[in-house]
Amino acid sequence: MSNHMNIALIGDLVASRAMPEIARHELQDRLTAYLDAVRSDASAGIAARPLVTLGDEFQALFPADPAGVRRLLGLITDVLDLARPTSVRFGIGVGRLTTALREQTLGMDGPCFHRAREALQRTRASDLPCQLVFEGCDVEVLWSTLASYALRQRHDWTEPQREAISLFQELGAWNKVAEALGVSPGAVSLRQQAAGWSIYRTAWSSLERGLIGMIAPTSLDIDREVTP
């Protein structure tokens, strides 16, 4: 049994069984290829290599520390983006393992996985696509609501909006984005405003800081700039 706290993630592709067979297989292949490329490395925030498990479900395990929180949130947004236009549900559970830590996220058990499963069940019974279960406090409800809002907003970005935001994260300035796209700064500004980028970025930063504050408050770096 591990004495360390962990964050378990169980995700589910929504209504994928209703997709045309070819499209579903292509989506499964993209998800599998992405997860296969992730290697377990605790120092990089990965406790065990994520896997596709039951059909269209997948799971991952992260250390309950700042690196783990950042890697968790990064994996969530990556999966959300690669699955579009299919929606994804995310159940997050924080707790310990009752089995030994393994290389892959398979064959392990403990409260972190039980809570992640409970969280996923809550997403299926509610309108919130992302749920967190840890200590049963009101802060978890607030966190889950904000995460669901932010993910739904990101899911609805148009391709031009997504392209502009991706370039901004790479280049660091909107004027450079305009140059790269060959459009006016005003056109780029309209894209990022229509996407609600400023609100999304603030929300995602708050989610990262909030989850770190819940599970590892002494590790919270109040000066760190978050790049969602």
Give the CATH number for residue 49: 3.30.70.270
In a domain, 142, yes or no: no
Residue type, 109: D
Tell me: do 27 and 130 sit in the same domain. Answer: yes
Percentage of the chain surpassing pLDDT 90?
Answer: 64
> Quick check: is 218 in a domain?
no
Let me know if residue 48 belongs to a domain. Answer: yes
User: Are 75 and 184 found together in one domain?
Assistant: no
Does 170 lie in the same domain as 109? no
Cβ contact 183:167 at 8 Å: no
Pair (124, 52) in one structural domain: yes
* Percent of the chain clearing pLDDT 70 (strictly above): 93
Is residue 217 domain-resident?
no
Q: What is the pLDDT of residues 131-149, one digit of tens each?
A: 999 987 788 999 999 999 9
How do strand 88-95 and strand 130-133 relate by DSSP bridges? Answer: parallel
Same domain assignment for residues 174 and 71: no
- State the residue range of the domain holding 77: 6-135
How many angstroms separate the CA atoms of 101 and 2, rounded? 7
Residue 222 pLDDT > 80: no
- How would residue 40 be classed by pLDDT, with cut points 50, 70 and 90? low
pTM over 0.85: yes
Q: Are residues 115 and 175 in the same domain?
A: no
Instruction: Tell me the pLDDT tens digit for each residue of 173-218.
Output: 999 999 999 999 999 999 999 999 999 999 999 999 999 999 877 7
pLDDT given for residue 225 in this prediction: 47
Q: Mind listing the pLDDT tens digit for each residue in 110-132?
A: 999 999 999 999 999 988 999 99
Same domain, 89 and 163: no
| Residue 199 resides in a domain | no
Count structural domains, the chain.
2
Q: Verify that 108 and 175 share a domain, yes or no.
A: no
**Is residue 154 one of the residues assigned to a domain?**
no
Torsion of CA 205, 208, 210, 212, to 10 degrees: -140
Starting at the edge strand that comes first in sequence, how are the strands of the sheet with 130-133 ordered? Answer: 48-52, 57-63, 6-13, 88-95, 130-133
